[in-house]
Amino acid sequence: MFKMLQKAKTGLLLLDQAIFSGTSFLVTIMLARMLPVEDFGIYAGLVLIFYLITSLISAFVAQPLQVSLSATEDTRSYLAFTFWLQTAGALLSAGVLYMLFLFPIEVLSAYGKLIGPAVFLSVGFIMHDYFRKRLLAEDRVTETLKADLLLMAGHFIVIGYILLQDIHSLSGVLIALGVGYIPAFISCIIITRPQLTKTGNWLNYLKAHFQQGKWLFYSAIIQWWAGNLFIVASGFILGAAALGALRLVQTVFGVLNVLFQTFENYVLPQTANRMHNSLNEGRLFLKKIGVQSFLGVSILLLVLFLFSDRIIVLVGGEQFREYGFLVKGMSVLYAIIFMGYPIRIAIRALVLNKIFFKGYVLTFIFGLLSSYLLLSFFNLAGAIAGLILSQLILIVYWQIELQKKDFLIWK
């Protein structure tokens, strides 16, 4: 009976991640076809900023929550604390974003007229990320699915509204997308019922979160730059068309979040819970999950690799056919990323946050030293090569550190 329930939960988990990632994928593709190229580029840049802000807040809230919840006695008080800390972070980030876009900096000039809509959308984006990670950490997969179904419905409704009203202004699109978060937000408030009672342990929780989060915070900054350095550099060195092509291909590979985010949001707290009982139990769990998932990922990546030209044209149109090789390169990159994910989860579950941070420092340094040469001599192929080499450096370093701790997943 337990195995049947576990399989059903795993199925719901994969369905939920498919809905969440699929919604993001379809909305992005539809916006790419609806908006002028320049406006879509501005939107893509805005989303990159949202991801950075979300990861910075998550470093102090959701990520410590994922590994600390199972070891906390008064979970009701602890979860209420994380909600209010997340809310404070979201409001603070909204204020910072507002002031940032007011600065007379040329690279941010395009966002000056989008301050209100961008801030509004950012709050929905940030809070939904917290609710998903929290509910999954609590092993409440059904509630997570309901919230993501509401998010999907909200965004598809507003996209339909944009099409019917023939809205072409980016500000109008951003406001509509922000409204699309409201049904899911209300649902999550009802599900979690945040309170302001039993605050006696909150100071201890805050100290613990900041103790864990400081390295995760530094890692988030470095990780964002390490992951996006070649993308940003492509725009500066090779021009807007190259940047647009890379972002479009990244969107195509967003479908792989069905598995990658499953590892991050569900497998991490489950691994931490098992390691709380036995390190070997956690190691065997990671190994089992990695092997079971590998077949499905391999098939998907093989399809993307073999039909790269058709896929890029289907998504972006005939004008992107020449960039089919980027899909092939990304297929190789994501195969390496996936193979390294159990190692990443082990580092996180063992709370080796300093080592986690140092790994991204190494890749960031590599990117700084190599991006100009790789892009200048090999153009976009150099960007893909740089991303692949960065991942290999990261995985090898983490594996060496785990070996020092006598924790080998694949032994």
Categorise residue 19: left if φ over 0, alpha if ψ from -120 to 50, beta otherwise: alpha
Q: Cα–Cα distance between 148 and 21 in angstroms, integer?
A: 10
270 neighbors 351 (Cβ within 8 angstroms) = no
Phi, psi of 131 (to 5 degrees): -60, -40
Per the structure block, which two tokens stand in for 153?
A: 């419905």
Nearest Cα residue to 285 out of 275, 297, 295, 296 = 275
pLDDT at 185: 96
Q: How many CB atoms sit inside 10 A of residue 72's CB?
A: 16
The identity of residue 379, as a single letter, is N
Q: Cα–Cα distance between 364 and 225 in angstroms, integer?
A: 7
The residue length of the chain stands at 411
DSSP for 277-318, please give it: H-HHHHHHHHHHHHHHHHHHHHHHHHHHHHTHHHHHHHHH-G
The whole-model pTM stands at 0.77
pLDDT at 1: 44
Q: Which long-range contacts (CB under 8 A, 24 or more apart) does 160-169 make?
A: 162/34, 163/34, 168/34, 168/35, 168/36
40 neighbors 31 (Cβ within 8 angstroms) = yes
Residue with token string 């959308």: 121
Instruction: Parse the chain into domains and list their residue ranges.
Output: 11-200, 214-411
Per the structure block, which two tokens stand in for 73?
A: 């006695």
pLDDT tens for the 411 residues of the chain, in order: 445 445 566 778 778 877 887 888 888 888 877 877 677 777 877 888 898 899 999 999 999 998 888 778 788 889 999 999 999 999 999 998 888 887 766 656 667 788 899 999 999 999 999 999 999 988 888 999 999 999 999 999 999 999 888 887 889 999 999 999 999 999 999 999 888 777 778 899 999 999 888 878 887 888 788 778 888 777 667 765 676 777 778 877 876 766 676 666 678 888 888 887 788 888 888 888 777 777 778 888 898 899 988 888 887 767 678 888 989 999 999 888 888 888 888 888 887 878 888 888 899 899 989 988 998 889 889 999 999 999 999 999 999 998 888 787 766
Sign of CA dihedral 299, 301, 306, 307: positive
pLDDT at 150: 96
398 neighbors 390 (Cβ within 8 angstroms) = no
Q: How many CB atoms sit inside 10 A of residue 248's CB?
A: 22
pLDDT at 311: 87
Per the structure block, which two tokens stand in for 249?
A: 């291909």
pLDDT at 81: 92
Determine what percent of the chain falls in helix, strand and coil, rounding each to the nearest 5. Answer: 90, 0, 10
pLDDT at 108: 65
